[in-house]
Structure 1
Amino acid sequence: MTMDQIIEKFTTKNLTIREMVALTGAHTIGFTHCKEFSNRIFNFSKTSHVDPTLNPKMAEGLRQVCQNYTVDHSMAAFNDVRSPSKFDNAYFNNILKGLGLLASDHLLGVDPRTRPIVEQYAKDEKVFFQDFANAMEKVSVFGVKTGHKGEVRNRCDQFNNLPAM
């Protein structure tokens, strides 16, 4: 997606660009399956196998980690290469160094609407934490489904199996 499309997805839910960037900071923990970013590290274009916006050493490491992703669909890489299991502002510092795993991460660091926020969060972890908490509080009540209208997923990336009728 383009940054315009990403921003629109958030603003249609009454979230600001700042809140969008803060929420994206959740990428500081967790991982992404290789199939979700394989286009950045394998056969990117006719002139380059790798997305030139990626840090070259990171791209090479990802190519090694994901070399068999079409056979083993569970292959994944950490979203934050510096501190993958710690909730901190390293994700924003990574973006500024070309270490954003996803294309959307890269866009946050170059788009004039989002880069100043990324830079601020990279410099001031407390501001990121406060903005993230406020944005999470806002989305926690957005479109809440109750009763049989929703479900708590066993895995966040797939629906639970529906009971047989």
Structure 2
Amino acid sequence: MTREHEELLGLLTEVRSRLLIPVRGLTDAEAAKRTTVSELTLGGLIRHLATGERMWLQVLRNADGSLPDGMLNTAQYSMSETLSHWLSAYEVAAAETDAYVTSLPSLDVEVQLPTTPWSPPEPRFWSARRIVLHLIHETAQHAGHADIIRESLDGANSTAQLGA
């Protein structure tokens, strides 16, 4: 594993852990509760990111532009199972992503992205590096959403939960 692998996966691990702070100590009912006009819930965010990591890993492994299972599912943000189910699924997906990315000799590996209704018509290619950067971006963005949802739910925030 190169230093680049270590640094990018280290940052991804850091943003994943920040995402999980707002769900500490929640019941399933609290994790499924909408606190804003959007459809976002804390459990739904965990489900979305667990599913997203699994899908991006399929894109990376397949490398042929095939559409991953569930990529067109528009109900990704609902919490269809228990919070503990999605936390476990997220942990497994993260470990699988990390193991696969670690196994790559270089992050320069290019893969074809799947064609979706929102894609441009021509085939697009991303490097493994860009996929990891996308996962970092997506996770960090949703960690911010999680903070807002948790604070709206019961006033808790990540700073208070970290003891800062």
Shorter-chain TM-score bucket reads under 0.3
Which structure has more relative contact order (CA 8 Å, sep 6+)? It is 2
TM-score for both structures, normalised by structure 2: 0.22
- TM-score, normalised on structure 1? 0.22
